[in-house]
Amino acid sequence: MRAACVAASAHSVTIGAHVSYLDREGFGRRDLGLAPNAVRDQVAAQLAGLAEVAAACGIGVRYVKAHGALYHRIVDDSAHAAALVQAMHEHDPALRLLTVPGEAARLAVEAGIGVVTEGFADRAYRSDGRLVGRAEPGAVITDPAAVAGRAVSLAIDGVVRTVDGAPVAVGARSICVHGDTPGATAITRAVRTALRDAGVCIAPFA
């Protein structure tokens, strides 16, 4: 975290907390079936930990994005969504929530927390606007040109092609490229170049 905060400070990059269930073995991608109060406490602890490191580097935490199983659960589970929102509000009501439409977004708005809608350039979408599960073939897109093209479509048209080839509206203000996607650095560079070539202004949302 310290290395990331130092680099972010040097390059004027906004810092956000990527919170998850405490599941290092499963990289946060397993649903642990936790009680909502445990989710609140885990999120609060992760937020506080990053905030302390960021402050020591002269910057602040500006937004929160859930990770893995927690990210997907708070779309439909109002109890876990409320736990996340409560932890955010208690830490700093000025934080923004980076997420997709669903329970967490709704509850955040009710709590006065700003919501930024996210789109995924390196993940396949279903026709209902949800992501294809990682266990399914083609769920993760690794070709830099393909990901860059999807990023431009998300930014300019607000849509992305599903696995069936049809467009689905996303309305994203932020575009995600997963850091553990194979070739993530090359993919991100291709995305940045494509967005700038298309006239898209790349700037912090928080």
pTM of the model: 0.93
pLDDT in tens, 183-199: 999 999 999 999 999 99
Which pLDDT value is given to residue 33?
87
∠ at Cα 61 (104, 142), nearest 5°?
70
Domain boundaries, the chain: 1-117, 121-206
pLDDT in tens, 113-138: 999 999 999 999 999 999 998 889 99
Which pLDDT value is given to residue 135?
87
Which pLDDT value is given to residue 28?
87
Could you confirm whether domain 1-117 is CATH 3.20.20.370? Answer: yes
| CA separation, residue 192 to residues 46, 105, 144, 175, 202 (Å) | 29, 27, 11, 10, 8
Mention every residue, 6+ apart, whose C-beta is less than 8 A from residue 107: 78, 81, 82, 85
| CA separation, residue 123 to residues 88, 159, 168, 184 (Å) | 27, 13, 13, 12
pLDDT in tens, 66-88: 999 999 999 999 999 999 999 99
Q: Per-residue pLDDT averaged across 32-41, rounded?
A: 95
